[in-house]
């Protein structure tokens, strides 16, 4: 099984929880993409009806539109029945790191508004503690004086050997710009940054910060697909 096969297995398993008439948060990324495609397929087969999708990015908006999923937004649907989305890291308490695709703000808004948030991952995303994969912890910041904000973020976590890097578009030095017109600073940690809530609050207190990629106590279910099968972890 390839990693993409595992992503697809997890995504299809999550879509089994979708019922006709639901308002659905549609996630972003290579795993969530399979869920969006599957929902569109079931709608076209008449096996699902009366679904309203709330996309978490412009990319997902376009994919869902093409898949024939009727779309709306949080202004019209402030309560979402179920959101399905991927994650970059999942710890044993179902806390997540998300945002390596750059959609963390809209994802956190949609997933924060839903009754159930089902996370779909292949088993490579499981970590013992957030920040442990050595991969990026994204923070969305305003473009104004981004160096100032990035250096304050780096200093905040200097004891964890943090390095803050502005996310740029592949290959060129242009800053990556989010759907909301902001920049992303990726934080890389050499060691654990300690208490998640303290870290989360500390980051959000910086005036130039819009949102960060730690999704604490938000997931209600995590579906993990691995070589040995699929496991469902409930909060």
Interface with ligand DER, residue 53, by CB under 6 A: no
Using the contact rule CB under 6 A, the part of the chain among 12-20, 62-70, 96-104, 178-186 near ligand DER is 96-104
Among the listed residues 30, 38, 48, the one whose alpha carbon sits nearest the alpha carbon of residue 14? 38
Using the contact rule CB under 6 A, the part of the chain among 30-38, 73-81, 166-174, 181-189 near ligand DER is 30-38
What is the C-alpha to C-alpha distance for residues 67 and 47, in angstroms, rounded to an integer?
Answer: 15
Contacts with ligand DER by CB under 6 A: the residue count is 17
Min dist. Cβ of residue 97 to ligand DER (A): 7
Residues 101-140 that bind ligand DER (CB under 6 A): 101, 103-104, 107
Interface with ligand DER, residue 182, by CB under 6 A: no
What is the C-alpha to C-alpha distance for residues 87 and 28, in angstroms, rounded to an integer?
Answer: 9
What is the C-alpha to C-alpha distance for residues 31 and 230, in angstroms, rounded to an integer?
Answer: 14
Beta strands 214-215 and 221-226, pairing class: unpaired
Interface with ligand DER, residue 34, by CB under 6 A: no
Whether 107 is catalytic: yes
Closer CB to ligand DER, 152 or 166, in the complex: 166
Interface with ligand DER, residue 100, by CB under 6 A: yes
Interface with ligand DER, residue 85, by CB under 6 A: yes
DSSP state string for 103-151? -HHHHHHHHHTEEEEEEEEEGGGB-SSTTTTSS-EEEEE-STTHHHHHH
Closer CB to ligand DER, 152 or 226, in the complex: 226
Query: Which of the following is catalytic: 107, 111, 140, 211?
Result: 107
Q: For residue 211, what are the β-bridge partners?
A: 140
Q: Find the helix packing angle between 196-205 and 146-156, rounded to 10°.
A: 150
Interface with ligand DER, residue 88, by CB under 6 A: yes
Instruction: Read off φ and ψ for residue 234, nearest 5 degrees.
Output: -105, 145
Binding site for ligand DER (CB under 6 A): 27-32, 85-88, 98-101, 103-104, 107
């Amino acid at each position: 099984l390839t990693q993409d096969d595992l992503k697809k297995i997890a995504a299809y398993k999550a879509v089994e929880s979708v019922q006709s008439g639901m308002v659905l948060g549609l996630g972003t990324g290579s795993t969530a993409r399979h869920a969006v495609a599957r929902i569109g397929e079931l709608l076209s087969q008449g096996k699902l009806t009366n679904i309203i999708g709330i996309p978490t990015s412009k990319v997902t908006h376009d994919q869902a539109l093409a898949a024939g999923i009727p779309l709306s937004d949080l202004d019209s649907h402030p309560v979402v029945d179920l959101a399905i989305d991927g994650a970059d890291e999942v710890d044993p308490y179902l806390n997540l790191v998300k945002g390596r695709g750059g959609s963390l703000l809209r994802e956190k808004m949609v997933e924060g508004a839903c009754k159930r948030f089902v996370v779909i991952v292949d088993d490579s995303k499981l970590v013992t503690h957030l920040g442990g994969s050595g991969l990026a912890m994204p923070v969305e910041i305003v473009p104004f004086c981004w160096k100032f904000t990035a250096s304050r973020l780096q200093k905040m976590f200097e004891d964890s050997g943090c390095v803050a890097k502005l996310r740029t578009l592949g290959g060129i030095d242009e800053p990556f710009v989010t759907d909301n017109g902001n920049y992303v600073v990726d934080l890389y940690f050499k060691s654990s940054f300690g208490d998640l809530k303290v870290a989360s609050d500390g980051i959000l207190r910086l005036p130039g910060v819009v949102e960060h990629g730690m999704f604490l106590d938000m997931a209600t279910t995590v579906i993990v697909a691995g070589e040995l099968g699929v496991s469902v972890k409930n909060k």
